[in-house]
Chains A and B, each alone.
Chain A
Amino acid sequence: MKQEGLKFFSDIYLTNTALVLFFLVFLGVGFWVFRSGSKEHYKHMSQLPLKKDES
């Protein structure tokens, strides 16, 4: 079972697919943090350590 699994490591198409997949996820997160309406939220989040008790 394991040995069969290992063969995939030398499959250039499969490893390339993984590379592209990882990169797409990275790009996706990059775009996603800039989604509309997020600005207010991030402002709120970044203020959390600075807020005194009143919140």
Chain B
Amino acid sequence: MTASQEKVKVQYDDQIVRMFFHATLFWAFAAFTAGVWIAFELAVWQLNLNTEWLTFGRLRPLHTNAAIFAFAGNAIFAGIYHSSQRLLKTRMFSDMLSKIHFWGWQLIILAAAITLPLGFTQSKEYAELEWPIDIAVTLIWVIFAINFFGTLARRREKHMYVAIWFYIATIVTVAVLYIVNNIALPTSIAHSYPVYAGIQDALVQWWYGHNAVAFFLTTPFLGLMYYYVPKAANRPVYSYRLSIIHFWALIFIYIWAGPHHLLYTALPDWAQTLGMIFSIMLWAPSWGGMINGLLTLRGAWHLLRTDPVIKFMVAALTFYGMATFEGPLLSIKSVSALGHYTDWIVGHVHAGTLGWNGFLIFAMIYYLVPKLWKTELYSKKLATTHFWIGLLGTLLYYISMVVAGITQGGMWRAVNEQGQLVYPDFVETVTRIVPLYYVRGIGGALYLIGFLLLLYNVYKSISMATEKPTDEVAEVINTNVKSEDIGTGHRKLEGMATAFTVLTLIAILVGSVIEIIPTLSLHKYVRNDVQVEPWTPLELAGRDIYVREGCYTCHSQMIRKMPSEVLRYGPASTIEESMYNRPFQWGSKRTGPDLARVGGKYPVTWHYRHMINPREIVKDSIMPNYPWLATEKIDYYALRKKLSIMKYLGVPYDDDTVANADLVAGRQAQEIADGLIEFGAPEEVRNKEIIALISYLQALGQKGGLSEEDKEGGSE
């Protein structure tokens, strides 16, 4: 050390940590409650209380956004603000930016909580928020980045600890993912169409969707793990060498894995294979990280018996290990064939979120309360009770969903000696697993109850504090990072924040560019001899209603290239069939059947009665009633604008149709309404949304996109 040994006092900004801490608790309650509610909606369909704002289709995005961006997001920020200041030995760059970051983020969440139940959605999973909120998210993220990198530049510790690398990777990658996936053209303040269509939209979305898991729910949490586990166990991380390999391998490999969400779909095979292989490679760095975390406790395992913080951490790392074992397993094509679209995936995700993210956050909360409020934890016993209740809830959730998924997946595929489906009625496979939906709901409720114990414990702990909470003041050596001896190799790199950030960016861009760019040249994959008609104006209006109601949360529109799928739904879906679809509606879950070829299968009156009360047609259906579709009017006036934007994006509408979109739609609506009224529907049904939705459902699979060979039944 050649620099001066002069000491200075640093006052850390702990107020901002306390603010994010409170926000975490508040939104956790919202996210968990919404989760339990929608879990029971699948068991008891009446639970939407016959209102449009509380349907599963609209609340499911609310639950996922609240869990990811509000609960996990605020917790990440609390942890990053707390640990970074201490690791870098300096106060945050700007108190003002910290405050803007905090309030901006809460406003965004509030906007999400209002707009999602109202049906304003882009329908891309974990990216449902409409364009004005997307812009706000981007701005706030940039403010966070400036604040973080400003702090890095002012640090008094030359070397950046491994946790800081994970934070850097998070900030850089989330920015890239979020912006690229949300590029859209607005048709109004509350609606937009993505620039990508069909297969492109699917690939970009799942490149984003999977890496939201990777870079919002994994890398920041690994950073927190590398800081808080050593702190709580009071010993250094097991292997610092392993953490270097862990970091670079994880961020390089993760970014490629997205296509494993699209196995057996119309996505080109090379992309599917790439996604699968990189997913399997992820086993290594994920388990390296888990082992590194768990072995940090070497010689301190006795804490596992006495300290609830350590209990939560060990369980979190174990769930991380299990989820990252199961993830690559599910990415193997033949396993995906069984598991995809079923509740197994839902179980898998919740093992990660409830077990890994949730438990690590709870550990952090129990660790931080005494420190931030200069008090003791009110009751270790209560925290231990929380641990066991939470663990039981997570296990009930996970096991019930894996059983439900494998059961249903098996029933979908079952074929008898004559080569026919054993369970041709989809609803048979649903009624079989409804009891498990109750078990799942109970699991979620237990998790929520455990969390209420945490709330009480935190409240009592804080009220035990004798003085007002203050900022911690530390005495550190006043090192000037720039003037110091820099070192060589990775040491040098750890001292060079900018170079490190650029290298991280390159590592995540390699996979992104190789996967995404080729797919953007869609015309390479579209067969010239296959004709596809674009949606009529009325069908487009209906499609937007389909998106608004979140139908995709329970219905897919992608028949996979598998015999049992072709038997049940018809020829496998092709790239051409969704080439004009913005956003794509392939879906990721089949609580109800696939709809890719539902058009023409039933008469319009069937659809009308089914939307008003599904049980009138399918006795055991668990779909809610949609009566408001028969009272709300079709928005004809928006159609000209919508069509002109579609035309601008390359959909072959002629100028006449665009200019008279509302009239063309009105005429088609008239025909359908006449048909319905003739069979007894009330006269008021004219020009109501249900007409547009029916026109869309009846057009599904009827727009061309199949070659003669495809129609034979996928004789590939």
Contact = CB atoms under 8 A, between A and B. Distances in A.
Contacts of A52: 474
Contacts of B474: 52-53
A13 interface: no
Interface stretch (B367-375, B416-424, B516-524, B554-562): B516-524
Listed from nearest, the 9 A-B pairs whose CB atoms lie closest are A46-B236, A42-B240, A53-B474, A33-B241, A48-B161, A46-B240, A2-B521, A53-B475, A49-B230
A17 interface: no
Nearest to A55: B477
Nearest to A5: B518
B226 to A, nearest CB: 8
Interface residues on B, range: 35 or more
B476 interface: yes
A2 B517 contact: yes
A29 B270 contact: no
17 contacts: A2-B518, A5-B518, A26-B249, A29-B244, A29-B248, A32-B490, A42-B240, A47-B236, A48-B159, A49-B83, A49-B86, A49-B161, A49-B227, A49-B231, A50-B235, A50-B236, A53-B476
B491 to A, nearest CB: 6
Nearest to A41: B491
A52 B157 CA distance: 13
A26 B477 CA distance: 37
A12 interface: no
A16 interface: no
Contacts of A10: 270
Contacts of B244: 29, 33
B476 to A, nearest CB: 6
B304 interface: no
Contacts of B163: 49
A23 B669 CA distance: 60
Contacts of A32: 489-490
B270 A9 contact: yes
Count chain B CB atoms within 10 A of each CB in A33, A47, A49 and give the residue with the most: A49
Interface in B209-265: 226-227, 230-231, 234-237, 240-241, 244-245, 248-249
B87 interface: yes
Interface string A1-22: 0110110011000000000000
B518 A9 contact: yes
Give the interface size bracket for A toward B. 20 to 34
Contacts of A50: 230-231, 234-236
A34 B236 CA distance: 18
Contact of A35 (B87, B162, B489): B489
Given A6-B524, A53-B476, 9 more contacts: A2-B520, A9-B518, A46-B236, A46-B240, A49-B86, A49-B231, A50-B235, A53-B474, A55-B157
Contact of A29 (B236, B245, B477): B245
Contacts of B489: 32, 35
A30 B491 CA distance: 15
Interface of B: 83, 86-87, 89, 157, 159, 161-163, 226-227, 230-231, 234-237, 240-241, 244-245, 248-249, 270, 474-477, 487, 489-491, 494, 517-518, 520-521, 524
Contacts of B235: 50
Given A48-B87, A49-B231, A55-B157, A30 B245 contact: yes
B644 to A, nearest CB: 28
Interface centre among B89, B157, B226, B236 (most CB of A within 10 A): B236
Interface of A: 2-3, 5-6, 9-10, 26, 29-30, 32-35, 38, 41-50, 52-55
B87 A49 contact: yes
A15 to B, nearest CB: 10
A48 B159 CA distance: 9
A37 to B, nearest CB: 10
A3 B237 CA distance: 48
Contacts of A9: 270, 518
B119 to A, nearest CB: 37
A33 B288 CA distance: 15
A42 B227 CA distance: 15
A9 B162 CA distance: 35
Q: Which of A5, A41, A44 has its CB near the most chain B CB atoms (within 10 A)?
A: A41
Nearest to A47: B236
A10 B518 CA distance: 13
B161 A45 contact: yes
Contact of B162 (A3, A29, A45): A45
A33 B245 contact: yes
Contacts of A49: 83, 86-87, 161, 163, 226-227, 230-231, 236
B678 to A, nearest CB: 53
Contacts of B159: 44-45, 48
A29 B157 CA distance: 25
Contacts of B237: 46
Nearest to B89: A55
Nearest to A35: B489
Contacts of A54: 475
Contacts of B475: 53-54
Contacts of A48: 87, 157, 159, 161
Contacts of B231: 49-50
A53 B162 CA distance: 19
B258 to A, nearest CB: 17
A52 B474 CA distance: 8
A16 to B, nearest CB: 13
Nearest to B517: A2
Nearest to A19: B277
A6 B268 CA distance: 12
Contacts of A30: 245
A32 B524 CA distance: 43
A33 B617 CA distance: 66
Contacts of A46: 230, 236-237, 240
Contact of A42 (B83, B241, B518): B241
A50 to B, nearest CB: 6
Nearest to B472: A53
A45 B518 contact: no
